[in-house]
Structure 1
Amino acid sequence: MNQIELTEDARGLPLVRVQLAKAQAHAVLHLHDYERVQALTGNASWFLNSSGNGHRYVRVWHPATARNVMVARLILGIEQGAIRHQDGDPLNLRRANLIRPLRRAF
């Protein structure tokens, strides 16, 4: 299980800093989203994963799918598709920072 630290954002909303496995980094998200992810994944280890093309993502083992999944997808409640971080920081998992890019119709 990853170590966590409780803190607050500028508006006083509760945040959780999650120490990522095998990394000197923390993911940050709101407490209610952390609790939701924990309910889905149990005490699975959170870790930083690279896509191989320079993009990094916070992932966790999802027992229902028997695979590693992006925590950002669990927060947004989606199974697939691109997610971008508004501020460019893949460790900032606050819902307001997560963006689903729109597909262009041609």
Structure 2
Amino acid sequence: MNQIELTEDSRGHPLARVQFAKAQAYAVLYLSDYERVQALTGNASWFLNSSGNGHRYVRVWHAPTARNVMVSRLILGVEQGAIRHQDGDPLNLRRNNLVRPRRGAV
């Protein structure tokens, strides 16, 4: 299980910092989204996954689908498709940083 640190953003919104077991890094997301992801996945470990071309993704085991899924997709409630991080940081999983690109957008 990952270590969690509770903190808040500059506006006082509760945040969870999720430490990765095998990486010296952590993901940051709103506490309410963390709790919802935990309800969907249980105590599954969060981990960093690389696409092999320099892109990193935060993933977790999702028992209902029996596969690893991107946490950003669980937060937005989508099963597939691209998710863009407005600030370019794949570890910033705050809902307001996650964007679904429009079809045909580059």
**TM-score under structure 2 length normalisation:** 0.97
Per the TM alignment, residue 9 of structure 1 is displaced from its structure 2 partner at its CA by 0.4
Cα RMSD (Å): 1.0
In structure 1, what residue type is equivalent to 2:51? S
Distance in 2 (CA, whole Å) between partners of 1:66 and 1:25 is: 26
Distance in 1 (CA, whole Å) between partners of 2:104 and 2:20 is: 35
Distance in 2 (CA, whole Å) between partners of 1:20 and 1:58 is: 9
1:73 is matched with: 73
**TM-score under structure 1 length normalisation:** 0.97
Per the TM alignment, residue 21 of structure 1 is displaced from its structure 2 partner at its CA by 2.3
Does structure 2 conserve the Cα–Cα contact (< 8 Å) formed by 1:41 and 1:61?
yes
* Structure 1 unaligned blocks of 5 or more: none
1:4 is matched with: 4
Aligned sequence identity (%): 86
Distance in 2 (CA, whole Å) between partners of 1:47 and 1:78 is: 19
Does structure 2 conserve the Cα–Cα contact (< 8 Å) formed by 1:59 and 1:71?
yes
1:18 is matched with: 18
Distance in 1 (CA, whole Å) between partners of 2:104 and 2:52 is: 25
Residues 57-87 of structure 1 deviation map (CA, whole Å, 9 limit, x = unaligned): 0000000000000000000000000001000
2:48 is matched with: 48
Per the TM alignment, residue 52 of structure 1 is displaced from its structure 2 partner at its CA by 1.1
Does structure 2 conserve the Cα–Cα contact (< 8 Å) formed by 1:21 and 1:48?
no
